[in-house]
Amino acid sequence: MPLTDFPRVRLAQAPTPLEDLANLSRDIGGPRLLVKRDDLTGFAMGGNKVRQAEFYLGDALEEGADTLITTGAVQSNHARVTAGAAAKYGLACHLLVEQRVPGTDAGSEYQGSGNALLQRLFGARLHPWPEGEDEAGADARLEAIAADVRAAGGRPYVIHLGPGHPPLGALGYVDAAAELLAQARDQDLAPDAVVLPSGSASTHAGLLVGLRAAGNPLRVLGVCIRRAAALQAERVLARARWAAELIGRPDVVGPADIDVTDAYLGPGYGQPTPAMIEAVGLAARREALLLDPVYTGKAMAGLLDLARSGAFPPAATVVFLHTGGAPALFAYRGLFAEAGP
């Protein structure tokens, strides 16, 4: 089924740039590093979730929904973009706010600034949820909120993040894969690998499906930001297979295509590591590139470490997929209070 057959609302400013990271490349003395700037998708402060929201919102409007309901952590980029999409199209929005990061008490910057602030500005109604790692429980709570909306005469549309639901958002990155390949051709590039954060896995899975559907064997390495590599590999494969089925290419991805590492995860989701802090600082000072502490900071830490250690050939070209998330920097301000040369 071609992507044009899926309901879609255009939100992203695309194509996003594909740029050299010339200073970081010189610093590591190894492969050529580039960045695919999906932090610049524009809508509601951008990021990868904008491409995903195009398909969820399109489906919601097709169904006649008047309310969007979803879940995410306090500093969720997905929740921020969903709230923005709801505001733009005149829908109500309910967000289940999961407490995934220990030690972030009520009243802290983490709870009140960054994405959490933007969700409120967009007019979302927030529902606290104390269980950060209970996806089944969170999905059940979403359905309970949806039942309340129906009882009040509303028409809810639920965007689940747990497994067992069609990953429509992944289609945004099936499309982005074609965009990346076109840019590489235009710039006379032959990338050897893409490195990206791997969390809910829709971006990772969609990009992988899009590349393989185009007949491209490019390595896609996901840096785990929420769970161990074995669990994340299962999740990426399941989402990739489902996304492949959605576009009518069920056999395009298999276990050999899944490549993840949890070496840079640290204590868990949203919890800082020294390597992440270093990577965020280096990217800012050397490239004026703003990463976030949860996703892209850890993924860049992985990329830099792998490049320095010779995991990529010196002549390789490696693309870093920047999935956005800079608003969360302000929620982690204390980590970077002493940042500088």
pLDDT digits (tens, 9 = 90+) for 50-85: 999 999 999 999 999 999 999 999 999 999 999 999
Domains of the chain: 3-47+167-336 (3.40.50.1100), 50-159 (3.40.50.1100)
Percent of the chain with pLDDT over 70: 99
pLDDT at position 339: 62
- Which of 135-139, 156-160, 235-239 shows the lowest mean pLDDT across its residues? 135-139
pLDDT at position 338: 63
Mean pLDDT rounded to a whole number for the chain? 95
Reported as a pLDDT band with limits 50, 70 and 90, residue 162 is confident
Residue 76 bears catalytic tag: yes
Cα–Cα distance, 150 to 92 (Å, whole number): 13
pLDDT at position 201: 97
Query: Which of 76, 113, 198, 202 is labelled catalytic?
Result: 76
> Mean of the pLDDT values across residues 228-247?
98
> Mean of the pLDDT values across residues 128-139?
87
pLDDT in tens, 72-81: 999 999 999 9
pLDDT at position 73: 94
pLDDT at position 133: 80
pLDDT at position 113: 94
Decide if pLDDT at 163 tops 90: no
pLDDT at position 341: 58
Cα–Cα distance, 55 to 205 (Å, whole number): 15
> Mean of the pLDDT values across residues 144-156?
98
Decide if pLDDT at 324 tops 80: yes
Decide if pLDDT at 279 tops 70: yes
